[in-house]
Structure formats: structure tokens, C-alpha cells
Amino acid sequence: MQFKNSLKFGRYAEVLVLKKIKNKYPGAYIDREYNKFYDINIPEIKTTVEVKSDTMSNDTGNFVVEVEMPVGTPSALSVTKATWWVFFDGRMLFITPGELKNIIKDNNLYPVQFVGDGDTEKKKAYLVKKELIESKSTIFD
């Protein structure tokens, strides 16, 4: 998926996750200013959410958990201030960043470097088996 389409789909995923959250917390909103630390703010409970759309995981069996972009510059999981991460693969998998870090550590995972579709520079990321994240997530269809 090219970056333009990927960004568009990522925004779509954010809106779907926001709708789910607004059922319980109507004050929740997408932070429209570029914010590398989180996507959704839930002021009622002082909670933030990062949304990661990854439908390619349905083919690969792995979620991409970015930690540097470009390589050498901390990003995503390395710098997140979100209380929750949501992986969107058609479903919504809610997991804490701490639990993601534990999965990576407990399974002795090592990051890989690659240039993603639409990117111009390499990123460093973990390829985490979906089952590992699913086992520690709250899942909504």
C-alpha cells in the first residue's frame, strides 16, 4: 500500500477506534495536530491511545512494531506517551505499550530494518507474531 493510501487508511482506522471509544467516553477526540506520541485523547479518564493500522498482518502473520524511523531516531514504541496502543487489522486489539515491550523481551525478539511502502528511509521495527499480541489484548471486532 503506497504511503498516501496507507495514511488515508490509518486515518480511517483512527476514526473507527474513536467511534468505539466514544460509546463510553463521549469527550474523546483525535488529536488533529501532528502528535508523534498518541492519536486519540480521552480527557474523561486522562488516557491516550495510539492507533496502528496493519492489515498486511493478515497476510504476514506479524504486526510491525516500529522503534526507530529513520534508523537511529527513536519513534513509535520508543517514544510513545500513549496509555494504550490499538492494532487495527479489521479488528481492534487494545494493548498497553508496557505489555508490548514485555512481549518483545520475553520472546527474545530482535528488530529488523527495512524501507516500508511509501517510505524513503529505513526504519527499525520488531515483527511480532499476531498470536503473541492477541493473547495479551482486549479484542473488539
By the 10 Å C-beta count (0-12 exposed, 13-18 middle, 19+ buried), 31 is classed as middle
Average pLDDT over residues 33-54: 90
Q: Is the pLDDT of residue 31 over 90?
A: no
Look up the CATH number of domain 3-140: 3.40.1350
pLDDT in tens, 67-120: 999 999 999 999 999 999 999 999 999 999 999 999 999 999 999 999 987 788
Give the model's pLDDT for residue 5: 55
Select from 34, 43, 50, 60 the least CA-distant residue to 93: 50
Q: What's the mean pLDDT when you consider all of the chain?
A: 92
DSSP-derived 3-state class of residue 37: coil
Extents of the domains making up the chain: 3-140
Q: How confident is the model at residue 3 (pLDDT cuts 50, 70, 90)?
A: very low
Q: Of residues 28 and 141, which shows the higher confidence score?
A: 28
CB neighbourhood size of 100 (10 A): 22
Global model pTM greater than 0.85: yes
Q: Is the pLDDT of residue 52 over 60?
A: yes
Give the model's pLDDT for residue 1: 46
